[in-house]
A = this chain, B = another copy of it.
Amino acid sequence: MNTFLKLINRKDQNFQHWYSEVVFSAKLIEHYDISGLYILRPSAVEIWETLQAFFDSEIKKMNVENCYFPMFVLDSHLKKEEAHNSGFKQEVAWVTKSGQSDLEAHLALRPSSETIMYPYYSKWIRGHRDLPLKLNQWCNAVRWVVGDPTPFIRSREFLWQEGHGAFATEDEAHAEALEILELYRRIYEEYLAVPVIKGTKSEMETFGGAIYTNTVEAFIPNTGCGIQGATTHCLGQKFAEKFEVKFEDKKGEKAMVWQNSWGYSTRTIGAMVMVHGDDKGLVLPPKVASTQVIVIPVPYKDVDTQGIYDTCKATVNMLCEAKIRAELDSRDSYSPEKKYSEWEMKGVPLRIEIRPMDLENKQVCVVRRDNGAKIHIANADLVEEIRKFLNNIQQNMFDVAKQKRDECIQVIHTWEEFKEALNQRKMILAPWCDEKDVELDVKRKTENEMGPAKTLCSPFDQPELPEGTKCFKSGKPAKKWTYWGRSY
Which chain A residues have a beta carbon within 8 Å of chain B's beta carbons?
30, 32-34, 37-42, 44-46, 48-49, 65-72, 74, 77, 89-100, 106-107, 109, 119-120, 123-124, 129, 135, 139-140, 144, 146, 157, 159, 331, 333
Contact in complex: A42, B67 (CB < 8 Å):
yes
Known pairs A49-B66, A98-B93, A107-B34; A71 contacts B41 (CB<8 A)? no
CB neighbours of A77 from chain B (8 A): 33
Bound Cα distance from A68 to B157, whole angstroms: 11
Contact in complex: B42, A66 (CB < 8 Å):
yes
Would you call the interface of chain A mostly helix, strand, loop, or mixed? mixed
CB-CB nearest in chain B for A45: B66
Supplied contacts A71-B157, A92-B99, 11 more A-B pairs, CB within 8 Å: A32-B69, A34-B107, A37-B72, A39-B68, A45-B65, A45-B67, A71-B140, A72-B157, A95-B109, A99-B146, A129-B331
CB-CB nearest in chain B for A70: B37
Q: Which of A67, A70, A100, A106 has its CB near the most chain B CB atoms (within 10 A)?
A: A70
Contact in complex: A68, B93 (CB < 8 Å):
no
Known pairs A45-B67, A46-B66; A98 contacts B144 (CB<8 A)? yes
Known pairs A106-B97, A144-B98; A39 contacts B92 (CB<8 A)? no
Tell me the smallest distance from the CB of A58 to a CB of chain B, in Å: 15
Tell me the smallest distance from the CB of A60 to a CB of chain B, in Å: 10
7 contacts across the A-B interface (CB closer than 8 A): A37-B72, A39-B70, A40-B67, A40-B69, A42-B65, A44-B68, A68-B159
Q: Which of A68, A106, A109, A119 has its CB near the most chain B CB atoms (within 10 A)?
A: A68
CB-CB nearest in chain B for A144: B98
Known pairs A94-B95, A98-B91; A34 contacts B67 (CB<8 A)? no
Contact in complex: B30, A120 (CB < 8 Å):
yes
Bound Cα distance from A33 to B48, whole angstroms: 32
CB neighbours of A135 from chain B (8 A): 42
Contact in complex: A94, B91 (CB < 8 Å):
no
Q: Which of A33, A40, A140 has its CB near the most chain B CB atoms (within 10 A)?
A: A33
Known pairs A92-B99, A144-B98; A45 contacts B68 (CB<8 A)? yes
Bound Cα distance from A69 to B39, whole angstroms: 5
Bound Cα distance from A97 to B90, whole angstroms: 11
CB neighbours of A124 from chain B (8 A): 30
CB-CB nearest in chain B for A72: B34
Bound Cα distance from A72 to B33, whole angstroms: 10
Bound Cα distance from A32 to B331, whole angstroms: 53
Bound Cα distance from A71 to B98, whole angstroms: 15
